[in-house]
Structure 1
């Protein structure tokens, strides 16, 4: 039996009108010391879409991602998030950011569960203790990435791929319906690549918006219907991923008969919002 990963949605959804794009980027320019790293980029990311932003080192993809998260200011142009100008967007609980790796911290190492629980901070009021619903969301998030049995372990005892799964579970434990993942497959083994690809596929299947910032498509290639390829800070391709950078690595994706059995995981229910 599998539990469902449920998170709070919003009432009042108007099913007769399409939602605004999860992201709308219009003529975006981002500069470092007066030199543009992203040059006049425009595109939409529709709600429920799985998009890969691809490109080699120095192409501008990481700069673009940071601008979409509001970390880097635009030199020119405009970014909207769920229909709101980025400078006025406040509902950051909707955005689940998954960095490349866990930050190394001093002191007493955090447990897996503690890291995942930190994903709920944005939706809690100050000084409010975790509820049974909060705890259940953490349990479901850990089960979704196949790490329920490692909840009490220190994150430093896990492999790099397992740590990446912890970061995804942290995003799942919160109220996010839009996920930005920075190189989620970087430097991890085949088994963890398969586990991560499965979680990403189920997020997409259940209506989440997923943006993957990648050096190459690799084992995620079969999940993609659209890729945006950057070169020298500009869009070189926007459309189906066939024939773009990273396709030569598609053979890494396992065939079903080659895939070892993974733990049973729950379905992932994405909150529906107005």
Structure 2
């Protein structure tokens, strides 16, 4: 991946990429997150694990200000999330691709849409912007599908489009919600390659996962949720050795799901997946 695909410099010292303090979220009076607190230092690759219904996706959305907190707080790069405005620094990868309106969009068009937060109003994409799209497509192995409709792609290829869209915006912080759910082995490897490059460049990556798969060697820390609370924070659990809560944050299987009902995003550039 070249310097145009993602920001080339390593993150500077300063506040953590995310700080979550006493986060409480409830749906219809039912707690989904119950007093969650942790920090994500800049440059860390963090996995958020847990069984279905544990609050993984809700936590990721709360970190981006998409889900309102009942109590507690979230800071993004040292700024309360509701006052944070540098959304060009954040690359969000939702669970699935949604292209509405019935208008066919090409792979390249969807990837280029990831630059909206960076481009100033009324400014057309320049050579560097087009090169960033090219590099993002190459990173996920979809250069040869750039002119195809996204509707012609497999689920795994569509997930790669979402990753490329995030890369094209050249952020320094990534949040990925179940990027490996229901995707094929080739797409899992492509994701691992992309995350490995982001890690090498010192970017922050937070991934909601139900399995680790080929990402395991890249993840230095895992937070495991159970019933809306952190039950483990440290080295990613393994199938043998460290105990795993309930039935599955470390099981090696593909399990697409939606933890919680959909909510409208607070930030237009962030897309919230629909419930199955």
User: TM-score, normalised on structure 2?
Assistant: 0.83
SS of the residue 2:36 aligns to: strand
Match of residue 233 from structure 2: 238
Tell me how far 1:113 sits from its aligned partner: 0.5
- Taking structure 1 as reference, are residues 121 and 101 closer, same or farther at Cα in structure 2, changes over 3 Å only? same
Match of residue 37 from structure 2: 42
Match of residue 212 from structure 2: 217
Q: Structure 1 residue 111 and structure 2 residue 114: aligned?
A: no
Match of residue 147 from structure 2: 152
Q: How does 1:11-26 map to 2 (within 5 A)?
A: 18-26=13-21
Match of residue 56 from structure 1: 51
Q: How does 1:243-262 map to 2 (within 5 A)?
A: 243=242, 244=244, 245-249=248-252
SS of the residue 2:91 aligns to: strand
Q: How many residues are treated as equivalent by the alignment? A: 245
SS of the residue 2:54 aligns to: coil
Alignment partner of 2:188 out of 189, 193, 201: 193
Distance in 2, Cα, partners of 1:107 & 1:6: 30
Tell me how far 1:8 sits from its aligned partner: 5.7
SS of the residue 1:80 aligns to: strand
- Taking structure 1 as reference, are residues 197 and 81 closer, same or farther at Cα in structure 2, changes over 3 Å only? same
Q: Which moved more, 1:97-106 or 1:174-183?
A: 97-106
SS of the residue 1:249 aligns to: coil
Instruction: Note if contact 2:4-2:128 (Cα within 8 Å) is conserved in structure 1.
Output: no
RMSD: 2.0
Q: Structure 1 residue 137 and structure 2 residue 132: aligned?
A: yes
Query: Rg bigger for which structure?
Result: 1
Distance in 2, Cα, partners of 1:154 & 1:137: 20
- Give deviations 1:77-106, integer Å, cap 9, x for gaps: 111100111111111111100011111424
Distance in 2, Cα, partners of 1:171 & 1:202: 14
Structure 1: 5+ residue stretches without partners: 251-274
Alignment partner of 2:96 out of 97, 101, 104: 101
Q: Which moved more, 1:238-247 or 1:52-61?
A: 238-247
- Taking structure 1 as reference, are residues 236 and 3 closer, same or farther at Cα in structure 2, changes over 3 Å only? closer
Instruction: Note if contact 2:111-2:164 (Cα within 8 Å) is conserved in structure 1.
Output: yes
Tell me how far 1:220 sits from its aligned partner: 1.7
Match of residue 204 from structure 1: 199
Alignment partner of 1:73 out of 57, 65, 68: 68
Q: Which moved more, 1:203-212 or 1:239-248?
A: 239-248
SS of the residue 2:225 aligns to: strand
User: TM-score, normalised on structure 1?
Assistant: 0.84
Instruction: Note if contact 2:49-2:223 (Cα within 8 Å) is conserved in structure 1.
Output: yes
Question: Whose helix proportion is higher, 1 or 2?
Answer: 1
Distance in 1, Cα, partners of 2:70 & 2:162: 31
Q: Structure 1 residue 176 and structure 2 residue 175: aligned?
A: no
Distance in 1, Cα, partners of 2:40 & 2:32: 21
- Give deviations 1:222-256, integer Å, cap 9, x for gaps: 22111000000000000001334544429xxxxxx
- Taking structure 1 as reference, are residues 125 and 14 closer, same or farther at Cα in structure 2, changes over 3 Å only? closer
Match of residue 5 from structure 1: 4
SS of the residue 2:174 aligns to: strand
SS of the residue 1:78 aligns to: strand
